[in-house]
């Protein structure tokens, strides 16, 4: 049976006639006919609608609107997407094959919670307590679970890191690759009680803060392969030999092109390490300013070779690729000129202070000589002592250190008659001449890579820098580190690497989609807007009448459907 609504218009009067009929279909031979069972036109609309809904329902009980209640409504869409991305990247397989079932469940839950909350393990634990649906999907039983279990699983993650890295490396075809990018960054602490906490070169510009260092090895497109935590005073170059040996011995890579920046001193490490010097390790790196100046002074390189077009010089099977970035040259020269100007102004303030002090000393001496009363001005200072002179010298040194111009200034003399600080114009011009210029150094042969390809591989180090920005951003929040002991800190760092792998996989797919979407819809959405859109997909549990519950999901918007399509996630899995 069904409700049939009819409408007709009188052609002469224009009057509209409506009727509502209760009908059914039946068959006579090959013909399907309609039978009118009742005329419902006299009934009110709400009653007709109720009858219609009852007819449409399949053996369902009619429920009054007042008996329908929303029991719970939780964020679900982003959690579901992260779980699917975890499966696509085979993170779940890696964890399940290396950890116990309970530890694998907890680590996966911490991983999702880390991306969503960006908080401590206690914050993640509290979030899990509100995420019953996500816990069920992960197979995690919250009953009896304590925050200490999260810390214990984090420790297990660290203790099995070697096995985890090998599986992760194999699943993502690390052995079949040839080019590997490596870089080191630091993350600072608010406290001082972490096992890795130490004072060192702070890349975040947080002076006075202890830090730890994090080394990240990636593919040439920035996909993370392994991560390690080091003490905060670790220099970049000291970590290189271990990374290369691990690639060869632990991960089974034989053909390596190791790409690192100038601070890695890769050539020095390869030449001076007894084991690595015998291996045919290929590298791509850059020279430091002092190394470039040395080669120029030895006439191996000439300043005239630097231009927009790449130039190459080969010496003893080593290739030097020279390049100039005009925009960078302008910025660096302007910055260098500003540093000199600021330094000169500060040194001039010290000179004025010295001059004023010397003038006062002369005045005091004059008073002593001209005073008729002997001893009246005896206490007055008439000349600079050694302590005063050292104080002025130290003030100059602090100024040049602050302006990073120490090599351009020399204190020749500061005494009662002279204040001589010499500016080394020749050194300054050398530095200025190298602004915007860089030299890439490699032993990869021209047959293997052209000049342009070598520069292209070196520039891919920006992919690792992008990874560090993501690790330190709100998307992952590797800092602050809420752990003290070494094992939990290493586990935390490894957890953050997996979080970055998920975020990177999503970014790689969503950024092209976002560019087209913003252009077509004249919007300015960012990556975080898309994750917020996914987070708007709720899972609601409805109470319908007595003792009946039903889980419902909202109808997805076109943008939400578009995001899921790009990420290759079947929306039916979410709502089915």
For 512-544, how does the pLDDT look when each residue is reduced to its tens digit (9 = 90+)?
A: 999 999 999 999 999 999 999 998 888 777 776
Instruction: Please determine, for residue 73, whether its predicted confidence score (pLDDT) is greater than 90.
Output: no
Q: Does any domain span residue 316?
A: no
Instruction: Please determine, for residue 576, whether its predicted confidence score (pLDDT) is greater than 60.
Output: no
- The pLDDT assigned to 193 comes to 85
User: Does the model's pTM come out above 0.95?
Assistant: no
Secondary structure in 3-state letters for 506-540: HHHHHHHHHHHHHHHHCCCCCHHHHHHHHHCCEEE
Q: Residue 477 in contact with residue 118, Cβ under 8 Å?
A: yes
Q: Does any domain span residue 83?
A: no
- Identify whether residues 414 and 450 lie together within a single domain: no
pLDDT (tens digit, 9 = 90+) per residue, 158-199? 999 999 999 999 998 877 788 999 999 998 887 788 899 999
- Identify whether residues 234 and 186 lie together within a single domain: yes
Q: Does any domain span residue 349?
A: yes
pLDDT (tens digit, 9 = 90+) per residue, 314-363? 988 889 999 988 999 999 999 999 999 999 999 999 999 999 999 999 99
Q: Which helix (DSSP H) or strand (DSSP E) does residue 358 occupy?
A: helix 326-370
Instruction: Please determine, for residue 479, whether its predicted confidence score (pLDDT) is greater than 60.
Output: yes
Q: Is 241 exposed, middle or buried (0-12, 13-18, 19+ CB in 10 A)?
A: middle
- The pLDDT assigned to 273 comes to 87
Q: Residue 215 in contact with residue 239, Cβ under 8 Å?
A: yes
Instruction: Please determine, for residue 15, whether its predicted confidence score (pLDDT) is greater than 80.
Output: yes
Q: For CA atoms 489, 490, 494, 500, give the dihedral sign.
A: positive
Q: Is 326 exposed, middle or buried (0-12, 13-18, 19+ CB in 10 A)?
A: exposed
Instruction: Please determine, for residue 59, whether its predicted confidence score (pLDDT) is greater than 60.
Output: no
- The pLDDT assigned to 17 comes to 86
- Percent of the chain past pLDDT 90, that is, above it, reads 58
Instruction: Please determine, for residue 245, whether its predicted confidence score (pLDDT) is greater than 70.
Output: yes
Q: Does any domain span residue 535?
A: yes
Mean pLDDT is lowest, of 149-158, 218-227, 546-555, for 546-555
Longest dimension (CA), the chain: 145
Residue of 79, 106, 80 lying closest to 95 (CA atoms): 106
- The pLDDT assigned to 228 comes to 95
Which residue range(s) make up the domain with 379? 328-433
Residue-wise over 289-301: b if at least 16 C-beta within 10 A, else e?
eebbbebbeeeeb
pLDDT (tens digit, 9 = 90+) per residue, 203-217? 777 778 889 999 999
- The pLDDT assigned to 10 comes to 82
Instruction: Please determine, for residue 56, whether its predicted confidence score (pLDDT) is greater than 80.
Output: no
How many separate domains does the chain show? 4
Q: Is 195 exposed, middle or buried (0-12, 13-18, 19+ CB in 10 A)?
A: middle
- Identify whether residues 427 and 475 lie together within a single domain: no
Six-digit token pair at 111?
């991983």
- The pLDDT assigned to 63 comes to 61
Q: Does any domain span residue 218?
A: yes
- Identify whether residues 411 and 334 lie together within a single domain: yes
Q: Residue 509 in contact with residue 566, Cβ under 8 Å?
A: yes
- Identify whether residues 424 and 455 lie together within a single domain: no
Q: Does any domain span residue 489?
A: no
- The pLDDT assigned to 446 comes to 92
**pLDDT tier at 556 (50, 70, 90 boundaries)?**
confident
Instruction: Please determine, for residue 575, whether its predicted confidence score (pLDDT) is greater than 70.
Output: no
Q: Does any domain span residue 132?
A: no
Cα separation of 528 and 534, whole Å?
A: 10
Q: What mean pLDDT is reported for the chain?
A: 89
CATH number for the domain spanning 450: value is: 3.30.420
3-class SS of residue 101: helix
**pLDDT tier at 232 (50, 70, 90 boundaries)?**
very high
Report the C-alpha dihedral over residues 440, 443, 445, 448, rounded to 10 degrees.
Answer: -80
- Identify whether residues 184 and 270 lie together within a single domain: yes
- The pLDDT assigned to 407 comes to 92
Cα separation of 215 and 238, whole Å?
A: 11
pLDDT (tens digit, 9 = 90+) per residue, 349-395? 999 999 999 999 999 888 888 877 767 778 888 899 999 999 999 99
- The pLDDT assigned to 188 comes to 86
Q: In this structure, what are the phi and psi dihedrals at residue 249, rounded to the nearest 5 degrees?
A: -85, -45
Pairing of strands 538-544, 68-75: antiparallel
Q: What is the mean pLDDT of residues 19-26?
A: 90
- The pLDDT assigned to 254 comes to 85
Whose tokens are 């040839």? That residue is 178
Cα separation of 81 and 364, whole Å?
A: 81
**pLDDT tier at 18 (50, 70, 90 boundaries)?**
confident
pLDDT (tens digit, 9 = 90+) per residue, 92-105? 999 999 999 999 99
Residue that terminates a domain, selected from 372, 405, 433: 433
Residue that terminates a domain, selected from 16, 35, 60: 60
- Identify whether residues 425 and 520 lie together within a single domain: no
Pairing of strands 282-286, 257-259: parallel
Residue of 455, 454, 567 lying closest to 507 (CA atoms): 567
Contacts of 226 (CB under 8 A, 6+ apart): 165, 168, 169, 216, 217, 246, 251, 497
**pLDDT tier at 60 (50, 70, 90 boundaries)?**
low
- The pLDDT assigned to 72 comes to 73
Query: Cis omega before residue 480 (within 30°)?
Result: yes
Instruction: Please determine, for residue 12, whether its predicted confidence score (pLDDT) is greater than 70.
Output: yes
- Identify whether residues 429 and 450 lie together within a single domain: no
Q: Does any domain span residue 93?
A: no
Secondary structure in 3-state letters for 168-189: HHHHCCCCCCCEEEEEEEEEEC
pLDDT (tens digit, 9 = 90+) per residue, 436-447? 999 999 999 999
pLDDT (tens digit, 9 = 90+) per residue, 88-147? 999 999 999 999 999 999 999 999 999 998 889 999 999 998 887 778 777 888 888 999
pLDDT (tens digit, 9 = 90+) per residue, 462-473? 999 999 999 998
């Amino acid at each position: 049976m069904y409700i049939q609504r009819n409408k007709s218009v009188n052609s002469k009067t224009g009057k509209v006639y409506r009727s509502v009929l209760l009908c059914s279909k039946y068959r006579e031979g090959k013909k399907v006919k309609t039978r009118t069972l009742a005329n419902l036109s006299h009934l009110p609309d709400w009653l007709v609608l109720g009858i219609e809904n009852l007819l449409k329902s399949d053996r369902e009980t009619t429920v009054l609107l007042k008996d329908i209640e929303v029991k719970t409504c939780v964020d679900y869409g982003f959690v579901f997407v992260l779980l699917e991305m975890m499966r696509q990247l085979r993170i779940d397989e890696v964890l399940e094959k290396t950890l116990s079932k309970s530890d694998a469940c907890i680590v996966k839950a911490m991983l999702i919670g880390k991306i969503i909350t960006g908080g401590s393990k206690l914050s993640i634990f509290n979030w899990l307590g509100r995420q019953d649906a996500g816990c069920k999907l992960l197979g995690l039983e919250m009953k009896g679970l304590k925050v200490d279990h999260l810390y214990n699983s984090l420790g297990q993650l660290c203790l099995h890191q070697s096995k985890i890295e090998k599986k992760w490396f194999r699943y993502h075809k690390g052995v079949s690759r040839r080019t590997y990018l490596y870089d080191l960054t630091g993350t600072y602490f608010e406290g001082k009680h972490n096992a890795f906490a130490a004072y060192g070169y702070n890349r975040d510009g947080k002076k006075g803060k202890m830090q730890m260092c994090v080394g990240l090895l990636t593919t040439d497109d920035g996909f993370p392969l392994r991560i390690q935590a080091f003490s905060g005073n670790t220099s970049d170059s000291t970590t290189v030999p271990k990374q290369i040996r691990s690639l060869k011995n632990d991960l089974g890579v034989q053909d390596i092109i190791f790409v690192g920046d100038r601070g890695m001193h890769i050539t020095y490490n390869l030449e001076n390490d007894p084991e690595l010097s015998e291996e045919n390790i290929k590298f791509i790196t850059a020279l430091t300013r002092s190394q470039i100046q040395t080669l120029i002074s030895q006439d191996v390189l000439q300043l005239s070779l630097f231009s927009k077009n790449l130039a190459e010089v080969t010496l003893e099977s080593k290739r030097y690729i020279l390049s100039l970035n005009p925009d960078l040259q302008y910025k660096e020269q302007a910055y260098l000129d500003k540093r000199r100007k600021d330094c000169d102004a500060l040194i001039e303030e010290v000179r004025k202070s010295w001059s004023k002090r010397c003038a006062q000393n002369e005045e005091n001496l004059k008073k002593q000589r001209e005073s008729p009363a002997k001893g009246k001005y005896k206490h007055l200072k008439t000349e600079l002592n050694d302590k005063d002179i050292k104080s002025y010298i130290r003030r100059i040194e602090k100024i040049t250190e602050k302006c990073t111009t120490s090599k351009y200034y020399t204190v020749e003399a500061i005494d009662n008659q002279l204040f001589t600080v010499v500016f080394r114009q020749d050194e300054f011009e050398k530095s200025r001449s190298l602004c915007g210029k860089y030299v890439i150094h490699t032993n990869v042969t021209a047959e293997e890579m052209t000049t342009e390809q070598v520069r292209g591989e070196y520039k891919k180090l920006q992919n690792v820098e992008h990874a560090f920005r993501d690790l330190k951003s709100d998307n992952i929040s590797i800092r602050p580190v809420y752990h003290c002991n070494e094992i939990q800190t290493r586990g935390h760092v490894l957890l953050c690497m997996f979080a970055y792998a998920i975020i990177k996989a999503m970014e790689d797919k969503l950024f092209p989609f976002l560019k087209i979407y913003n252009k077509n819809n004249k919007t300015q959405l960012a990556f975080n807007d898309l994750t917020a859109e996914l987070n708007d997909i709720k899972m609601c549990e409805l109470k319908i009448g007595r003792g009946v519950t039903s889980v419902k999901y909202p109808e997805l918007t076109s943008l939400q459907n578009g995001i899921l399509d790009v990420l290759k996630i079947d929306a039916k899995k979410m709502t089915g």
